[in-house]
Amino acid sequence: MFQRVCIIGVGLIGGSLARAARAAGLFGEVVGCGRNEANLKRAVELGVIDRYDCDPGRAAEGADLVLVAVPLGNMEAVFRQLAGRLAPGAVLTDVGSAKASVVAAARAAFGQLPPGFVPGHPIAGTEQSGVEASFPELFQGRRVILTPVPETDPQALAKVQYLWEGAGAEVVIMDVAHHDEVLAATSHLPHVLAYTLVDTLSRMGERDEIFRYAAGGFRDFTRIASSDPVMWRDICLANHDAVLNMVERFQDDLADLAAAIRDSDGERLLKIFQNAKAARDRYCGG
């Protein structure tokens, strides 16, 4: 479907999509782009991309699809380098975890949003990064949220949806603001909590003993604290209002829990834990 594809940011997400799309026969030539030339050379060796250029504008020349998979803090700079360099009718999409900031960055860079612009966010990933962590099955059975704006050409939206479905994902269409609220609750807050817990424990006097005796529950809960810190810093800043709202809401609930423990209120504790177990079993048990 796409004769020439440009992937700016050939890491876990960009690399996995290239692998999956190639396996499905959806990509022709794949041009990679990024600041780490060693990573790009490795991507060529692995067959993830065919060639690369470290300049986004040159890399995107002649591409009918440009995928931007860089940290949110770098989006506007990349878009500015793409301005005036996209081929006529080219589809431009991204994988950023906060959509309002991406739309604002594109508007600032292009002046007006290109009709081929389709903001997107795959709800998939691991705590690993880099092209060597990529694999074609990453999106199998996972959801991808597309957040088209009024300027988005329906044909461009259909192409991006077809691409993600070809990679094995279930595509959901969502409003930009609603996406940012939902992801603040379901993804951004859990990462913030995992980072904060590990940071707290790392600054305790007996940290070596604490981590030595950490059980499976600790490892499971804090696994995502091994994710890219730069990416998650950018997400917190880009989705500032929604993330802050969830953090403050959690603080209130944590204060209630602390009060129940302080008051030896076993009935209240049991109610909280039972409600949490029932909710998780209902929505995550399968």
Distance of alpha carbon 286 from alpha carbon 283, whole angstroms: 7
Rounded (10°) CA dihedral 179, 185, 187, 193: 150
pLDDT at 278: 95
The model's pLDDT over 67-82, given as tens digits with 9 standing for 90+, comes to 999 999 999 999 999 9
φ, ψ dihedrals at 234, nearest 5° = -65, -40
pTM: 0.89
pLDDT at 207: 67
Distance of alpha carbon 30 from alpha carbon 28, whole angstroms: 6
The model's pLDDT over 62-117, given as tens digits with 9 standing for 90+, comes to 999 999 999 999 999 999 999 999 999 999 999 999 999 999 999 999 999 999 99
The model's pLDDT over 120-170, given as tens digits with 9 standing for 90+, comes to 999 997 778 889 999 999 999 999 999 999 999 999 999 999 999 999 999
φ, ψ dihedrals at 146, nearest 5° = -105, 135
Distance of alpha carbon 208 from alpha carbon 202, whole angstroms: 8
Question: Using alpha carbons only, what angle is made at residue 13 by residues 8 and 14, rounded to the nearest 5 degrees?
Answer: 30
The model's pLDDT over 199-246, given as tens digits with 9 standing for 90+, comes to 998 888 766 777 887 777 888 889 999 988 998 999 999 999 999 999
Q: Concatenated DSSP letters for 194-250?
A: HHHHHHHHHTSTTHHHHHHT--HHHHHHHGGGGS-HHHHHHHHHHTHHHHHHHHHHH
**Beta strands across the sheet bearing 27-33:** 51-52, 27-33, 2-8, 65-68, 91-94, 117-118
Nearest by Cα to 169 from 196, 202, 139, 212: 139
* Residue 33's pLDDT band (cuts 50, 70, 90): very high
Using DSSP bridges, classify how beta strands 120-122 and 65-68 pair: parallel, antiparallel or unpaired: unpaired
Distance of alpha carbon 59 from alpha carbon 135, whole angstroms: 23
pLDDT surpassing 60 at residue 286: no
pLDDT surpassing 80 at residue 9: yes
Ordered structural domains, the chain, with CATH: 2-174 (3.40.50.720), 178-284 (1.10.3660.10)
Nearest by Cα to 34 from 7, 58, 60: 7
Higher pLDDT residue, 8 or 202?
Answer: 8
The model's pLDDT over 260-270, given as tens digits with 9 standing for 90+, comes to 999 999 999 99
Strand ranges, E, within the chain: 2-8, 27-33, 51-52, 65-68, 91-94, 117-118, 120-122, 143-146, 170-173
The model's pLDDT over 133-144, given as tens digits with 9 standing for 90+, comes to 999 999 999 999
**DSSP-based three-state secondary structure for 71:** coil
Distance of alpha carbon 226 from alpha carbon 191, whole angstroms: 10
Q: How far is CA 95 from CA 9, 103, 145, 259, in A?
A: 10, 12, 9, 41
